């Protein structure tokens, strides 16, 4: 089954909003044997939407749309699908009653605009929305399926999970597309490519390679009539990759560096603490994205000024001698993070997030300290601007070095 | 001038990577009078790319592509553009020499795959890439322009800023599209829509309305021969919006809540500190995304366990009596954040990020405390899963309440 995703909203075309809905949906399709052809973002403009729908309708068996189901004047997804199929909108009485009931429960009168959310065409049935006022549409016509879902992720995710995915699965073909992602760091993309050259033209598996903030990733992709058979095609390719570049691999598939680290900390019975300056809390935030991280993450300090660094245990002599942006202070912050929290491992980050320079050191300068029972390490880098990217890169680098240390400690 | 953006990479179609390049480029086009028609993500597949390019070529005068310029087997952007235009690739000797020089400087031999990055067609000239090995392509043919840029943002952003945007500006038409975003919170989307109904069908300005994590946003969009004339069309619409819903407006255009807060703190001469549990550092991270935030952000504590909360000044009796997930503890964390850092204002967050429950309280429960010289406030909410969204919503809510407090303190 071939599919298109259409994300609807002028805010996407104006660059005001990053489309995270399409990747969310896209990631669910391959295991169902659904092959995504294209993702499109189109503005809240009826002609544009109809053209985008027509092209997708021509290309694919299934179109998933998000957005444009709101109650406002510029929400035109229903109108566009009606025009695509040459059908006429009417207000569905039962749905209107449901909407009114929702507002009654909220204790506020229903704004007039919401009536359009009860609109329907003959080929469509409504998909309930438990978390908002915009029901989805499930449309079947001419052997094709169009599924319109709301844009806000809080409404889209539950609608997809409980109302759309289970029904789509029943229609799914007897083909499985299996993807295996192998995550590495420490090798350049082209070098990796050269080392894996023989794997690029295998008859039953395709290999992709691309750069991510957390390192180079490899994608093995196969198609087979069943999961078991797909797995049998993937395994030898993955084994060959591990033989060729195994020492650079840190994870696979949806594994995140912070999850891998959490697993290692848990297995080794170690706890962790952070003292951040230039990363400003992003390191603690990333670590605590992992469910259950409270088991091993003792706590974090964001020490954004020298006096706070000193109040939280950093040696003032080191700041005087080397400046706050120095590998010496990064190491001492790592040590202080351990001391302050009783954690086994401490990470310190100090640097110049930018855009301006600090202590005569250029924006992007970053020092990372890593304290553990056996000693203290530090790492220094200079990252390109903007500020947000410096924070991101420094955080990833700190996690990579921590993961590397944990692997060494495991022996 | 009409434009299309094409983001290239199977990782986008597989949902493994969120496309942030397209919104980055999209945001730069309207001020240059360039009207974006469509954003497309297509996989690393030659037929798909050629089809996507053909459709864009048919629709627009300008095509901006990102990605697919790497040195590996599945980097096919150059091949697809060559096929689109019916031209043949050749290795450009000067460019090859430049590539070799880059690797000489790095002190490593050039991998064989990189040779393809010196490929060119007759209609294309190379765009220098100062931060990577993939030069861009500037292609002109049949009155249309195709500009191919690399995918990694660290290479794309500088290439766009220094090599592409300045040249495009020279070609830009004598039309300016001006967009004004008005950012609000506290009103439901449909209610806002009803209040602004008369503004939806103005002859010279279009109004859009959409929900964002930081509240409802309004977009005024006009087209005029000059910036001045565009501004004259926008101003009365904005004035009318401010008259109708002014009390709900917190910012405009690219302003972020954390920036607005920073400005208020600076103007009022106040400092801020945080003690986070459920937001795990995201609040400090968001505050420190603002350049110069070190002037008013004293520091942050991520107190992820009860003993650390207590060690950092939270009253153990409150935890015993109400549980760590309680408005009482949120307030006490806010107070402790002030006490520990000497800041004027303190924010505390405690809750259940999920997916599991805690202390018998369901995932998504969040309490926010806000301590200031005149007292302590708290706010409680329950957000839907997943964990990452709970952290995001709680952070935004904390910032909104802080901003609201700062407005009150300003009087």
The whole-angstrom separation of Cα A267 and Cα A274 is: 20
Contacts A305 to B, Cβ<8 Å: 294, 298-299
Query: What residues pair up with B216 in beta bridges, in sequence order?
Result: B211
Q: Are B178 and B31 in contact (CB under 8 A)?
A: yes
Angle, CA of B266, B268 and B274, to the nearest 5°: 65
The whole-angstrom separation of Cα A164 and Cα A146 is: 11
Q: What angle, 0 to 180 degrees and rounded to 10, lies between the N-to-C axes of helices A257-268 and A387-410?
A: 30
Nearest to B71 by CA among A146, A210, A251, A256: A210
Structure tokens at B250: 């917190």
Q: Are A136 and A69 in contact (CB under 8 A)?
A: yes
Fold of B257-410: Maf protein (3.90.950)
Hey, which residues 79-118 in chain A have their CB within 8 Å of chain B? 111-114
CB atoms within 10 A of CB A374: 9
Q: Are A248 and A186 in contact (CB under 8 A)?
A: yes
How confident is residue A173, by pLDDT bands cut at 50, 70 and 90?
A: low
Instruction: Note whether A15 contacts B27, CB cutoff 8 Å.
Output: yes
Nearest to A275 by CA among A323, A335, A316: A335
Identify the residue among B304, B312, B356, B394 best suited for mutation to test binding to A, counting A beta carbons within 10 A and taking the highest: B304
pLDDT at residue B66, as a whole number: 98
CATH 3.30.70.2860 positions along chain A are 176-252
Query: What residues pair up with A212 in beta bridges, in sequence order?
Result: A215
> CB-CB: which of B13, B114, B288 is closest to A304?
B288
> CB-CB: which of B43, B71, B286 is closest to A193?
B71
CATH 3.90.950.20 positions along chain B are 257-410
The whole-angstrom separation of Cα A280 and Cα B300 is: 8
pLDDT at residue A102, as a whole number: 79
The whole-angstrom separation of Cα B128 and Cα B72 is: 19
Fold of B2-171: Molybdenum Cofactor Biosythetic Enzyme; Chain A (3.40.980)
The whole-angstrom separation of Cα A281 and Cα A286 is: 9
CATH of domain B176-252: 3.30.70.2860
**Interface check B295 vs A, CB under 8 A:** no
Contacts A114 to B, Cβ<8 Å: 190
> CB-CB: which of A26, A70, A154 is closest to B14?
A26
CB-neighbour burial class of residue A316 (10 A; exposed 0-12, middle 13-18, buried 19+): exposed
pLDDT at residue A294, as a whole number: 92
**Interface check A25 vs B, CB under 8 A:** yes
pLDDT at residue B211, as a whole number: 77
pLDDT at residue B311, as a whole number: 94
pLDDT, one tens digit for every residue, chain B (411 residues): 999 999 999 999 998 889 999 999 999 998 888 999 999 999 999 999 999 999 999 999 999 999 999 888 889 999 999 999 999 999 999 889 888 887 887 777 888 888 889 999 999 999 988 777 789 999 999 999 999 999 988 899 999 999 999 999 888 667 788 889 999 877 778 888 889 988 988 888 989 888 777 778 999 989 888 889 999 999 999 999 999 998 888 899 888 999 999 999 999 999 999 999 999 999 999 999 999 999 999 999 999 889 999 999 999 999 999 999 999 999 999 999 999 999 999 999 999 998 889 999 999 999 999 999 999 999 998 887 788 888 988 998 899 899 989 999 987
Instruction: Note whether B302 contacts A305, CB cutoff 8 Å.
Output: no
**Interface check B303 vs A, CB under 8 A:** yes
The whole-angstrom separation of Cα B367 and Cα B276 is: 11
Residues in chain B: 411
Contacts B111 to A, Cβ<8 Å: 188, 190-191, 193-194
Instruction: Note whether A281 contacts B298, CB cutoff 8 Å.
Output: no
**Interface check A66 vs B, CB under 8 A:** no
Instruction: Note whether A353 contacts B288, CB cutoff 8 Å.
Output: yes
* Model pLDDT for residues A77-111, shown as the tens digit of each residue: 999 999 999 999 999 998 898 888 878 877 778 88
**Interface check B213 vs A, CB under 8 A:** no
Whether the model pTM is above 0.95:
no
**Interface check B211 vs A, CB under 8 A:** yes
The whole-angstrom separation of Cα A366 and Cα A392 is: 11
**Interface check B55 vs A, CB under 8 A:** yes
Any residues with CB less than 8 A from the CB of B266 and at least 6 apart, and which? Answer: B295, B296
> CB-CB: which of A18, A72, A194 is closest to B112?
A194
Find the closest chain A residue to B283 by CA distance: A281
CB-neighbour burial class of residue A269 (10 A; exposed 0-12, middle 13-18, buried 19+): exposed
CB-neighbour burial class of residue B262 (10 A; exposed 0-12, middle 13-18, buried 19+): buried
> CB-CB: which of B15, B48, B283 is closest to A26?
B15
The whole-angstrom separation of Cα B244 and Cα A371 is: 57
* Model pLDDT for residues A106-133, shown as the tens digit of each residue: 777 888 888 889 999 999 999 988 777 7
What percentage of chain A exceeds 70 in pLDDT?
Answer: 99
The whole-angstrom separation of Cα B329 and Cα B323 is: 8
Query: What residues pair up with B65 in beta bridges, in sequence order?
Result: B6, B148
Instruction: Note whether A305 contacts B294, CB cutoff 8 Å.
Output: yes
Query: Which carries the bigger pLDDT value, residue A408 or residue B215?
Result: A408
Instruction: Note whether B11 contacts A193, CB cutoff 8 Å.
Output: no
pLDDT at residue A36, as a whole number: 96
Instruction: Note whether A16 contacts B23, CB cutoff 8 Å.
Output: yes
- Asked if ipTM goes beyond 0.90, one says no
Structure tokens at A8: 């609807």
Q: How many CB pairs below 8 Å do chains A and B form together?
A: 328
> CB-CB: which of A16, A299, A386 is closest to B303?
A299
Contacts B19 to A, Cβ<8 Å: 18-19, 22-23, 39
Structure tokens at B399: 């910032």
State how far Cα A93 lies from the chain centre: 39
DSSP A77-140: HHHHHHHHHT---EE-HHHHHHHHHHHHHHTSPPPGGGGGGGEE-TTEEEE--TTSS--EEEEE
The whole-angstrom separation of Cα B339 and Cα B331 is: 12
**Interface check A9 vs B, CB under 8 A:** yes
Instruction: Note whether B38 contacts A48, CB cutoff 8 Å.
Output: yes
Query: Which carries the bigger pLDDT value, residue B355 or residue A330?
Result: A330
The whole-angstrom separation of Cα A286 and Cα B247 is: 35
Contacts B190 to A, Cβ<8 Å: 70-72, 111, 113-114, 133
How far does the CA of residue B359 sit from the closest CA of chain A (Å)? Answer: 14
pLDDT over threshold 80, residue A39: yes
Which backbone phi and psi does A24 adopt, to 5 degrees?
A: -60, -50
Contacts A298 to B, Cβ<8 Å: 304-305, 308
Residues in chain A: 411
CB atoms within 10 A of CB A334: 27
> CB-CB: which of A191, A211, A356 is closest to B152?
A211
CB atoms within 10 A of CB B73: 19
**What is the mean predicted confidence (pLDDT) over A301-306?**
92
Any residues with CB less than 8 A from the CB of B62 and at least 6 apart, and which? Answer: B1, B2, B3, B4, B34, B144, B145, B146, B147, B168
* Model pLDDT for residues A233-273, shown as the tens digit of each residue: 999 999 999 999 988 888 998 889 999 999 999 999 999 99
**Interface check A48 vs B, CB under 8 A:** yes
**Interface check A44 vs B, CB under 8 A:** yes
Instruction: Note whether A211 contacts B38, CB cutoff 8 Å.
Output: no
Q: Are A311 and B329 in contact (CB under 8 A)?
A: no
Instruction: Note whether A154 contacts B389, CB cutoff 8 Å.
Output: yes
Q: Which residue has the tokens 């001492």?
A: A332
Q: Which residue has the tokens 């240059």?
A: B32
Angle, CA of A365, A366 and A372, to the nearest 5°: 160
CATH 3.40.980.10 positions along chain A are 2-171
């Amino acid at each position: 089954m071939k599919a298109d995703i259409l994300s609807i909203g002028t805010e996407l075309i104006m660059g005001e909003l990053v489309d995270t809905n399409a990747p969310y949906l896209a990631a669910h399709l391959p295991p169902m044997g659904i092959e995504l052809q294209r993702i499109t973002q189109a503005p809240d403009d009826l002609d544009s939407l109809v053209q985008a729908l027509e092209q997708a309708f021509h290309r694919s068996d299934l179109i998933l749309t998000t957005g444009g189901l709101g109650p406002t004047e510029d929400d035109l997804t229903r109108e566009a699908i009606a025009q695509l199929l040459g059908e006429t909108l009417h207000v569905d009485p039962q749905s209107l009653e449901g909407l009114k009931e929702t507002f009654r429960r909220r204790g506020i009168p229903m704004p007039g605009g919401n009536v359009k959310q009860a609109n329907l065409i003959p080929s469509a049935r409504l998909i309930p929305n438990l978390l908002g006022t915009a029901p989805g549409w499930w449309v079947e016509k001419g052997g094709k399926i169009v599924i319109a879902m709301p844009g806000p992720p809080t409404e889209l995710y539950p609608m997809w999970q409980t109302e759309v995915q289970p029904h789509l699965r029943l229609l799914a073909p007897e083909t499985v597309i299996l993807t295996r992602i192998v995550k590495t760091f420490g090798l350049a993309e082209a070098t990796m490519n050269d080392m894996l050259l023989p794997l690029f033209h295998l008859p039953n598996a395709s290999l992709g390679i691309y750069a991510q903030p957390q390192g180079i990733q490899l994608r093995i992709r196969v198609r087979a009539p069943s999961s078991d058979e797909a797995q049998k095609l993937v395994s030898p390719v993955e084994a060959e990759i591990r033989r060729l570049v195994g020492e650079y691999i840190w994870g696979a598939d949806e594994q995140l560096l912070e999850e891998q680290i959490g697993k290692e900390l848990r297995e080794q019975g170690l706890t962790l603490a952070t003292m951040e300056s230039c990363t400003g809390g992003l390191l603690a935030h990333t670590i605590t994205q992992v469910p259950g991280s409270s088991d091993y993450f003792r706590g974090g300090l964001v020490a954004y000024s020298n006096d706070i660094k000193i109040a939280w245990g950093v040696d003032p002599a080191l700041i005087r001698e080397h400046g706050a942006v120095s590998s010496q202070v990064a190491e001492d912050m790592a040590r202080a993070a351990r001391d302050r929290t009783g954690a086994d491992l401490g990470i310190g980050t100090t640097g110049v997030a930018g855009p301006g320079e600090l202590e005569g050191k250029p924006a992007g300068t970053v020092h990372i300290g890593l304290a553990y029972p056996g000693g203290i390490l530090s790492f220094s880098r200079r990252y390109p601007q903007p500020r947000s990217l410096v924070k991101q890169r420094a955080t990833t680098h700190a996690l990579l070095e921590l993961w590397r240390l944990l692997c060494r400690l495991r022996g």
